């Protein structure tokens, strides 16, 4: 029987829930106070737009958005010119924005851990698959565009 892979949106949702729980159970210290906490709306909106735009580029190219599925097109335009992984970047921005909205220190720990988790669980394998599939074209893209920003 094939083992079901936990996809990035699940990690993202677990991170959001964890941020909220840790904020209320273990806030440690308030580092951002109202009205400055409202500035968290900016990364939340930015991250949401980044995810939607990146998803649209995948769909327009007719390739998969799911990790570990074979890509049929290498997407390098639009938001993919500033980040090789704009969807993970968008998720991180949303988590950072939620942390800012809450204003306590501990939620930032979860947000800060998210890129490292994505790197370990998804990005390294995804990039290997893309390199195997698109070889020289992907290596040239890697040289031009940074992994995150």
| DSSP for the chain, written as a single string | -PPPPPPHHHHHHHHHHHHHHHHHH----B-S-TTGGGGGHHHHHHHHHHHHHHHHHHHHHT---STTSPPSS---SGGGGT-S-HHHHHHHHHHHHHHHHH-BSHHHHHHHHHHHHHIIIIIHHHHHHHHHHHHHHHHHHHHHS-S--
Instruction: Give the pLDDT score at 2.
Output: 63
Mean pLDDT of the chain: 95
Spatial CB neighbours of 53, under 8 Å, sequence gap ≥ 6: 78, 79, 86
Q: Is residue 19 part of a domain?
A: no
Average confidence (pLDDT) over 114-142: 96
pLDDT tens, position by position, 62-116? 999 999 899 999 999 999 999 999 999 999 999 999 999 999 999 999 999 999 9
Q: Which candidate, 14, 3, 26, places its Cα nearest to that of 102? A: 26
**Would you say residue 17 lies in a domain?**
no
Structure token digits, residue 7: 């996809």
The answer to whether position 101 is within a domain reads yes
**pLDDT surpasses 70 at 1:** no
- Residue 93's pLDDT is what? 98
Inside any domain, residue 69: yes
Domain tally, the chain: 1
2: in domain: no
pLDDT tens, position by position, 19-55 = 999 999 998 899 999 999 999 999 999 999 999 999 9
Domain-embedded: residue 6: no
| Full domain range(s) for residue 51 | 38-144
The pLDDT value recorded for residue 121 is 95
Nearest to 115 by CA among 84, 139, 138: 84
CB 56 within 8 A of CB 87: no
Residue 21 lies in a domain: no
């Amino acid at each position: 029987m094939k083992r079901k892979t936990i996809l990035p949106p699940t990690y993202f949702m677990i991170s959001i829930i964890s941020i909220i729980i840790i904020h209320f159970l273990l806030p440690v210290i308030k580092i951002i106070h109202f009205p400055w906490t409202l500035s968290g709306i900016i990364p939340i909106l930015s991250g949401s737009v980044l995810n939607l735009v990146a998803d649209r580029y995948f769909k327009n190219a007719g390739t998969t958005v799911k990790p570990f599925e074979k890509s049929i097109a290498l997407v390098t335009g639009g938001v993919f010119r500033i980040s090789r992984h704009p969807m993970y970047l968008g998720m991180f921005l949303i988590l950072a924005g939620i942390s800012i909205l809450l204003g306590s220190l501990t939620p930032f720990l979860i947000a800060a851990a998210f890129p490292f988790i994505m790197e370990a669980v998804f990005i390294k394998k995804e990039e290997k698959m893309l390199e195997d599939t698109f070889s020289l074209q992907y290596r040239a893209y890697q040289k031009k565009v940074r992994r995150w920003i």
